[in-house]
Amino acid sequence: MKQERIVDSIEQLNHDMTEKSLEGHWSLGLEDLPPYPVTSVRPHLWRWEDVHESLIRAGEVVNLDEAERRTVRLLNPGIPGGHGTTHTIHCSFQYVKDGEYARAHRHTAAALRFVLEGRDAYTMVNGQQCVMEEGDLILTPQLTWHDHVNRSGQPIIWLDGLDIPLTQALHQLFFEPCPKDQQTLEATSEEVAGFYGHARPAAAPRQYFHYKWADTQRSLERLRQSKTGRDPFDGYLLEFREPVTGGPTMPTIQCAVQLLEPGHETLPHRHTSTVIYHAYRGAGASIIGGREFHWRQGDSFVVPLWHQHAHANPSADTDAILLSMSDAPVMKALDLYREES
């Protein structure tokens, strides 16, 4: 007796596998395997006028008794429905009026503040009071308690950088409100530590959270005097490093300031890290992936990974200073960092 032959096909196999939540690698075409990394993150520039107007309007209608924070976020148009400025970091601007405070909480997302307008408000970080001046960088690394208090007699605006998109992509976001709305001076994190024992930092807690602008400026000047300190791709670049280990600013974010002297044009290069820039002082232009973006003080822009980019300061007499936040520490930790000029 002749056995009936079962006629199978790729189509039938694919169909049957799909029903069992299986997939064959043969379903991928070469177009799914590009030779270099592809990102949906787009080069984009946000104008300070737009951010500032939204912040002032938010000051009228957003109440800090209800909202956890009064911040305006930069959304990358290449991440529809997402909340990120890039796929790893989000950048916002926070506005706290005189007499207000933003209540204490902590989270596994690491955050930083860079002060733009105003002074003498403070952020409490694990019981340490960090009094703000323009240009100060204040870190609230993962799971540090932080609240922001403004009793300075004037409003304050600063830039926030957080690794929330990355933390969320890894499904690792813990958030805990503090039992007290405001931390008291020198209250340790243990004193106010609630019940989320599992959310405690695994690593030794760090003690240094505050980089003063006066120190940053002095270091930038010293770098400029050295003349050998000029990086062909970044101008005079000063990275904020972890003071004990010399490692990155935080495990997921490298912060830096870079000074572009009048007339200086950097050489183009590209790398697998993605960078958010904020024009802290001066004005200039950057070519990103073949497009030119003109920025002035207060503007922010994104250089997505593997996009060729170069910066220029066309001014005859004014320095330009860019603040940057990069996800390079993540790529380096995972051995994924590459650059090419």
Binding residues for ligand GTQ (CB under 6 A): 69, 71, 92, 94, 102, 111, 146, 160, 162
Distances (CA, A) of 120 to 5, 63, 116, 147, 150: 83, 21, 12, 14, 7
Q: Is there a contact between 321 and 257 (Cβ–Cβ < 8 Å)?
A: yes
- Choice between 162 and 238, CB closer to ligand GTQ: 162
Shortest Cβ contact with ligand GTQ: which residue?
160
- Choice between 70 and 307, CB closer to ligand GTQ: 70
DSSP structural state of residue 3: P
The least distance separating ligand GTQ from the CB of residue 40, rounded to whole angstroms, comes to: 22
Q: Is there a contact between 272 and 338 (Cβ–Cβ < 8 Å)?
A: yes
What region does 41 belong to: left with phi over 0, alpha with psi -120 to 50, or beta? beta
- Choice between 94 and 274, CB closer to ligand GTQ: 94
The least distance separating ligand GTQ from the CB of residue 146, rounded to whole angstroms, comes to: 6
What DSSP assignment string belongs to 244-313? TT---SSSS-EEEEEEE-TT-BPPPBEESS-EEEEEEES-EEEEETTEEEEE-TT-EEEE-TT--EEEE-
Q: List all residues 6 or more positions away from 170 whose beta carbon is below 8 Å from its beta carbon.
A: none
The least distance separating ligand GTQ from the CB of residue 100, rounded to whole angstroms, comes to: 13
- State the Cα–Cα distance between residues 21 and 140, nearest whole angstrom: 42
- Choice between 64 and 259, CB closer to ligand GTQ: 64
Alpha-carbon torsion (278, 89, 137, 65), positive or negative = positive
Instruction: Please choose, from the candidates 243, 251, 158, 175, the residue with its C-alpha nearest in 3D space to the C-alpha of residue 209.
Output: 243
Q: Is there a contact between 41 and 305 (Cβ–Cβ < 8 Å)?
A: yes
Helix (H) or strand (E) holding 175: strand 175-177
The least distance separating ligand GTQ from the CB of residue 120, rounded to whole angstroms, comes to: 18
- Choice between 136 and 160, CB closer to ligand GTQ: 160
The least distance separating ligand GTQ from the CB of residue 111, rounded to whole angstroms, comes to: 6
The least distance separating ligand GTQ from the CB of residue 167, rounded to whole angstroms, comes to: 11
- Choice between 91 and 238, CB closer to ligand GTQ: 91
Give the number of other CB atoms < 10 A from CB of residue 106: 28
The least distance separating ligand GTQ from the CB of residue 151, rounded to whole angstroms, comes to: 17
The least distance separating ligand GTQ from the CB of residue 160, rounded to whole angstroms, comes to: 4
CA angle, corner 245, sides to 242 and 250, nearest 5?
A: 35
- Choice between 114 and 277, CB closer to ligand GTQ: 114
- Choice between 69 and 180, CB closer to ligand GTQ: 69
Report the largest interatomic distance among the alpha carbons of the chain, rounded to a whole angstrom: 98
